Structure 1
């Protein structure tokens, strides 16, 4: 193959209807003599699937349709080999097959459907939104991918730019007329030429609201009514101004103009945009029967672009009629304050309350006092004229103010009742004499000198002095102790008590009773005599008040100092004895646990173990069984007495002497224990163990001898007579069994 023919760039229309025998290009080597010695081979992308080559002629054929949008080009390699030797006759030749585009794809709006919003009344040319379509064809080749936009539906309100797809306002539109539009945009490829593909998209355009409409009342005149009984805050009626705008643009405030704003008030219901007229002050049918008010509605937000068209507000007239009602009596005052001197005699006039029927001045009214169950009735009222009088004298020192509730009731309609508060102040009268504020404890030493102060006194007065209290102190004229003591008025509502002589003797006089005269500055002035008790004390340099108090107490009982010392000594001895008893009881309570609950024992077994005898004794039984057992304080199930004694009886047959007399004695006592109904519910068993008969050491048991240094008797059978008597005596008193 020629070097200049090693590579080709072959264009082929995609999807072109060509048969499999159609050759769109051919490869030929310069060495090809057309004698069939050369063979052409095709390799690379699409070889064998999309393309194949005639191995004899070198012509390349297309096997199936090509899609440029899937693969725009293919890279192939061609070979020429000798058919006989299978060796290449020329180097491999690489070439590219490029698929040429045709218009086989429609435009597509990938972002649809579209929704846009634009303010109402926007000027012409205002941009609303932009739509974009895409075409899969090759934009660099031909016009297959060149799009053109047009407006299918939406005239004359909107327009679209043909090349960009930008939608614009074509005229001003009012949201209140129509607030939503559907616009259809078409996109064509091949610049709209015949045979072009097209696609459409729908754009929903909403008009947003602006405040371009003022509020308007639907009625130019409203009629309302309100009862004169209606309380403050009552809803009189509602007005409504319609605004064609929505949201915040429709929000408005209502106002009341003219002079009726002090009687009525208006508020805005933010949900319904209604104006609610409220009663700000109670109305009176007898005073004024009709009101005419002017109500204004004003937008909260105003667009300055529309102010030239006029103010964004509206007004209406509201006429309100006052309805007559049967009202309760009305007091001339809501609260009355009256005064009366304390101590005024029963029936004294305190004051007068007055009420009238607002509907009819000639209608009679009855008065009464609301008496609380827990308060004493101190006042009464004349039911016809409202005169309040006392029912008993008042005491300012008990209560300086009295609160009374007075009612007024219509005679023709008892259900109509009103109330008023009456506050009665009780004025003070000087009816309480001054007195000591407390009981003074005054002491004087026996060695006191003349002119020594022993007490400072003051006074209190229950009365209320407008100018302030001032008290005067002096001795009563009948005072017989004025030579022993003197009183000095300090002119500050206090006075000092001084000694009038030197030296006092308790033997001569233990107490002095000084009558102190106190006078107040009231009108008229009142005086009182208060007794000051002075106790004489035995002291060195200063008064020992503790000793003086108890000395005075014993003196009042008629006891001397020696008797006082004796009484104190007896008291001290009694305390020591009492503490000793308490200590002894505490020690007695610290006993062993066995002594506290001794009654809980039901079986007490006392064992006396003696030393073993001889070989016969050790051969007969295990001597370890006779060792001392410690009594354990344990709660065990109670055994029957008969079974316990029978067990001991069997042991006695093994341990004790083999004596028929002894066995007979045990049997008799066993029967006696079982049949005796007077014995306690528990048993006390004492066990006596004896050595065997072959022991040479002798018995150590106390049963065999009276003293420890006496000779032991080895003749057990001869000595058992007195032992039986001893055992019988123990058993009769303790139910004791010996074995």
Structure 2
């Protein structure tokens, strides 16, 4: 104990100026910038004022002027001959000094967030001569903070995205609040973040406001959007602290974690036999709950096909079945093939254990169309002597209906624009008649007709033009 006292005396001896005031408890306070008794009186040494900084709490709510502190000079003998003068920030308006006692008061409530410190100057004058008894000396009045400002976020609502199926602890977004209170004094601006809504899916770092995923396997196809409410509370989160909140709208972005699937694994398509090559005869569609690029699909016929092909409609993601070769109802009426669908783009993280393709069977039925009769030969060439009489037998033509072999076929002649001579055609047209010969044929109505010489020429011309008429 004695050793400690000796060391303290040695330190004071080194620091104490040779011209200082007497070594008394009051003067020790002046040396270290400490106030006397109530902490507000400032004394001077022979070499000038020994100032301590004044502190004043903001937002004073009293009815009278708020006491700041007291200036005092050793030149003041208490006889009223000393006058204290105050100049600088707010002197005479915000701050008033009693020129006799040196007491300083604030005239109104002060807000640290508007101005945190005021710099003023003090003088000691002889009241009778206004002679300066002390040199002009500067001192500060610092406004002490109280917790009068709640934390505020820059936005009322934030928007963020995070990929679905993210690992626990994946950072989503950081939201921070600001507090206008003094960051260097107390805990008025010490913020702690917490999550009020959004658990158990998300968590927040209590120190920096970073939101992270907290639940594994969050699936966008199950739930896509989340509303998370974050609170920032000052006073280090203690009871009585002020708080502010914000909402964070979090959307799970899509990844390709779902393969395409056919709702039905069998499709029936009908096609008329007259469909042009390259024409579409039907559409099939698989479902993929993913979106955008992750839902893009491509269709193909397993093993290929001679008659049909399938392409992908990039807009609707449907498989469009098209014709590669002409259909013929009379040759083949039914087809069947398998179609494969798969994603265009794959995510290596999710292909293990999942088959990112599916299959379906397509059955095509060809429908008949009414086709015109077809002659067995085209053209017919018949030689006739030039002097053959009208009405003479010159030859036989035969036709069949490709839709049904037992369907009746009727024959007729038609005037032609191409005749040997107009007069002859006109004469033949009015005189020649079609006559039938009851020749043996297995078809009752599909007879073989005998044509007069001029009519044969016209029929040949009609066949060349593929123009057929029936009676």
TM range (shorter): 0.7 to 0.9
Q: Measured at CA, do residues 364 and 199 of structure 1 come closer, stay the same or move farther in structure 2, by a change above 3 Å?
A: same
Deviation at 1:73, TM superposition (A): 0.9
Q: Does 1:78 align with 2:78?
A: no
Contact 1:238/1:275 (<8 A) preserved: yes
Task: Please show how residues 581-600 of structure 1 align to structure 2 within 5 Å.
Answer: none
Indicate the RMSD between aligned Cα atoms, in angstroms: 3.7
Which of 458, 462, 465 does residue 405 from structure 1 map onto?
465
Deviation at 1:337, TM superposition (A): 7.2
Deviation at 1:45, TM superposition (A): 0.7
Stretches of structure 1 that go unaligned for 5 or more consecutive residues are: 395-400, 415-739
Contact 2:48/2:134 (<8 A) preserved: no
Judge which range, 106-115 or 284-293, deviates more: 284-293
The aligned counterpart of 2:136 is: 92
Secondary structure at the counterpart of residue 78 of structure 1:
strand
The aligned counterpart of 1:172 is: 217
For residues 74-117 of structure 1, the C-alpha deviation after alignment (integer angstroms, 9 at most, x for no partner) is: 11112222222233222223211111222221111114421011
Secondary structure at the counterpart of residue 191 of structure 1:
helix
Task: Please show how residues 15-94 of structure 1 align to structure 2 within 5 Å.
Answer: 15-17=59-61, 20=64, 23-94=67-138
Q: Does 1:8 align with 2:68?
A: no
The aligned counterpart of 1:131 is: 175
The aligned counterpart of 1:295 is: 339
Deviation at 1:33, TM superposition (A): 1.9
Secondary structure at the counterpart of residue 249 of structure 1:
helix
Contact 2:151/2:179 (<8 A) preserved: yes
Deviation at 1:192, TM superposition (A): 0.7
Deviation at 1:149, TM superposition (A): 1.1
Taking the aligned partners of 1:297 and 1:375, their CA distance within structure 2 comes to 65
Task: Please show how residues 181-580 of structure 1 align to structure 2 within 5 Å.
Answer: 181-232=226-277, 235-257=280-302, 261-331=305-375, 336=378, 345=386, 355-362=399-406, 363-366=408-411, 368=413, 371-372=416-417, 404-408=464-468
Taking the aligned partners of 2:404 and 2:312, their CA distance within structure 1 comes to 39
The aligned counterpart of 2:39 is: none
Contact 1:131/1:166 (<8 A) preserved: yes
Taking the aligned partners of 1:295 and 1:238, their CA distance within structure 2 comes to 12
Deviation at 1:234, TM superposition (A): 5.4
State how many pairs are aligned.
400
The aligned counterpart of 1:631 is: none
Judge which range, 113-122 or 278-287, deviates more: 278-287
Q: Measured at CA, do residues 337 and 404 of structure 1 come closer, stay the same or move farther in structure 2, by a change above 3 Å?
A: closer
Taking the aligned partners of 1:139 and 1:331, their CA distance within structure 2 comes to 104
What is the TM-score when the length of structure 2 is the normalising length?
A: 0.74
Taking the aligned partners of 1:350 and 1:101, their CA distance within structure 2 comes to 127
Taking the aligned partners of 1:194 and 1:14, their CA distance within structure 2 comes to 22
Q: Measured at CA, do residues 31 and 143 of structure 1 come closer, stay the same or move farther in structure 2, by a change above 3 Å?
A: same
Q: Does 1:155 align with 2:199?
A: yes
Secondary structure at the counterpart of residue 351 of structure 2:
helix
Secondary structure at the counterpart of residue 350 of structure 2:
helix
Contact 1:370/1:405 (<8 A) preserved: no
Taking the aligned partners of 1:402 and 1:21, their CA distance within structure 2 comes to 123
Deviation at 1:265, TM superposition (A): 3.2
Contact 1:369/1:405 (<8 A) preserved: no
Stretches of structure 2 that go unaligned for 5 or more consecutive residues are: 1-43, 436-446
Deviation at 1:64, TM superposition (A): 1.6
Deviation at 1:67, TM superposition (A): 1.2
Greater RCO, CA 8 A, separation 6+: 2
Contact 1:128/1:166 (<8 A) preserved: yes
Deviation at 1:368, TM superposition (A): 4.9
Contact 1:229/1:327 (<8 A) preserved: no
Q: Measured at CA, do residues 23 and 125 of structure 1 come closer, stay the same or move farther in structure 2, by a change above 3 Å?
A: closer
Contact 2:232/2:243 (<8 A) preserved: yes
Contact 1:152/1:185 (<8 A) preserved: yes
Contact 1:20/1:61 (<8 A) preserved: no
Q: Which has the higher helix share?
A: 1
Deviation at 1:235, TM superposition (A): 4.4
